[in-house]
Chains A and B, each alone.
Chain A
């Protein structure tokens, strides 16, 4: 089956922190962060709730698609978690939009947006006449340890959304999962049942084996892009743009070199946003849409990887006439 993207939207929290701002929290430097990651600044939710940015991105996408929230048949929210465990972020977005459709969250970490597209695609198999909002939102600034410089500098907060409708944009899609707690993990509250022994509470914040994730990420982009391009019956030359998950510029450059694809084909926003987890790909997609860079007939590949470990990639043929 397939669908078309008829609108995009995004939102970033107001507070911007540059690399120099982070030198107040731990020993680091702009030089280290830029040379290792390509990141110069990130947006952090201070005044905004996670719901605030999710809602803003959703409203922008609805506006761009020229549809009313009441027309939505489904809201899928790829996220590691909103402001509350329950209600889900998707339900709170639904309430604020005054939409009436089923709504739920989906956790596939940084690959969440592609997982959301794949799931939506399955709904279109059941009913072509649907309008689906996929709004990917994460506030990594609340999940990383601000005492750990090796991870805190990498991430930022944001939200990116797309409205999907009957159509034929999606040409190929692929998801993978390989369970692995060691490479990347964010532990959860343990509970306080009286029978639970007083164990030492582990840090609730993100733990990561940077080298392992780096190697996994480069391999994921290479394998997934090769596979979806083949599935779509095209070659890398036929692609107008590739939007990779924005985790680390060095990862993207390494994959580009291995695949022999010029860096100019890769759409980048990492310098100003860092790694915004599930939001990273739809944030770039919306920026390109708003800048008028996407024209009907253009072929775009998306490629993501993240905690789980999960990966996802797809090929889209853009059909939306203009922003």
Chain B
């Protein structure tokens, strides 16, 4: 569930509806820099109506999914 939503947010953000994303995709592969990850976390906070602490470094989609699951648990 969280993963699908993250993919949707990512595709909107990149404006690429066909973007291939897996749990193992890294932000680097997706050509996103560290400020893009901050932007994505902000969008996810709005979508999931939660506040997300960015205390760990986010490298992969799995990291983000883990962070959100923790926040909404």
Q: Residue B39 at the A interface, CB < 8 A?
A: yes
Does A35 count as interface, using CB distance less than 8 angstroms?
yes
> Is the pair B42, A211 in contact by a Cβ cutoff of 8 Å?
no
Do A215 and B42 have beta carbons less than 8 Å apart?
Answer: yes
Are A214 and B38 in contact, CB atoms less than 8 angstroms apart? yes
Task: Contact check, A254 vs B39: say whether CB atoms are below 8 A apart.
Answer: yes
State A214–B33 Cα separation when bound (angstroms).
14
Which of A36, A211, A218 counts the most B-chain CB atoms under 10 A from its CB? A211
A250 within 8 A of B: yes
Q: Determine if B39 and A36 form an interchain contact, defined as CB atoms under 8 angstroms apart.
A: no
Interchain nearest-CB distance for B31 vs A (Å):
12
What's the Cα separation between A29 and B37 when bound, in Å?
Answer: 21
Which chain B residues border A214 with CB–CB below 8 Å?
Answer: 35, 38
Residue of B35, B41, B54 touching A250 (CB-CB under 8 A): B35
* Contact code string A213-232 (vs B, CB < 8 Å = 1, else 0): 01100100000000000000
Q: Cβ of B38: which chain A residues have Cβ within 8 Å of it?
A: 211, 214-215
Chain B: residues with Cβ within 8 Å of the partner, total of 8
Measured in the bound complex, the distance between the Cα atoms of B35 and A215 in whole Å is 10
Residues 235-282 of A at the B interface (beta carbon under 8 Å):
250, 254
Give per-residue flags for A184-225: 1 if the beta carbon is below 8 A from chain B beta carbons, else 0. 000000000000000000000000000110110010000000
Contact with A along B15-57 (1 / 0, CB 8 A): 0000000000000000001110011011000000000001000
Among A36, A212, A215, find the residue whose CB has the most chain B CB atoms closer than 10 A: A215
Closest residue of A by beta carbon distance from B54: A211
In the complex the two chains form, is A35's CB within 8 Å of B33's CB? Answer: yes
Tell me the bound Cα distance from A215 to B53 in angstroms. 11
- Name the CB-closest residue of A to B45: A215
Q: Are A36 and B42 in contact (CB under 8 A)?
A: no
- Rounded to whole angstroms, the CA-CA distance of A250 and B35 in the bound complex is 8
The smallest C-beta distance from A203 to any residue of chain B, in angstroms, reads 22
> B16: shortest Cβ distance to chain A, in Å?
16
Cβ-closest chain A residue relative to B39: A254
Cα A281 to Cα B38 with chains together (Å): 25
Which of chain A's residues have a CB closer than 8 A to the CB of B34? 36
Chain A residue at minimal CB-CB distance from B42: A215
Residue interface mask A85-107, B partner, CB < 8 A = 1: 00000000000000000000000
A215 to chain B: which residues have CB within 8 Å? 38, 41-42
Chain A residues contacting B41 (CB-CB under 8 Å) are 215
Shortest CB distance B70–A (Å): 17
Which B residues are CB-close (under 8 A) to A212?
54
For B39, list chain A residues within 8 Å (CB): 254
Partner-A contacts on B (CB < 8 A): 33-35, 38-39, 41-42, 54
A-B contact pairs, 16 of them (CB 8 A): A35-B33, A36-B33, A36-B34, A36-B35, A211-B38, A211-B54, A212-B54, A214-B35, A214-B38, A215-B38, A215-B41, A215-B42, A218-B42, A250-B35, A254-B39, A254-B42
Given contacts A214-B38, A215-B42, A254-B42, 13 further A-B contacts (CB under 8 A): A35-B33, A36-B33, A36-B34, A36-B35, A211-B38, A211-B54, A212-B54, A214-B35, A215-B38, A215-B41, A218-B42, A250-B35, A254-B39
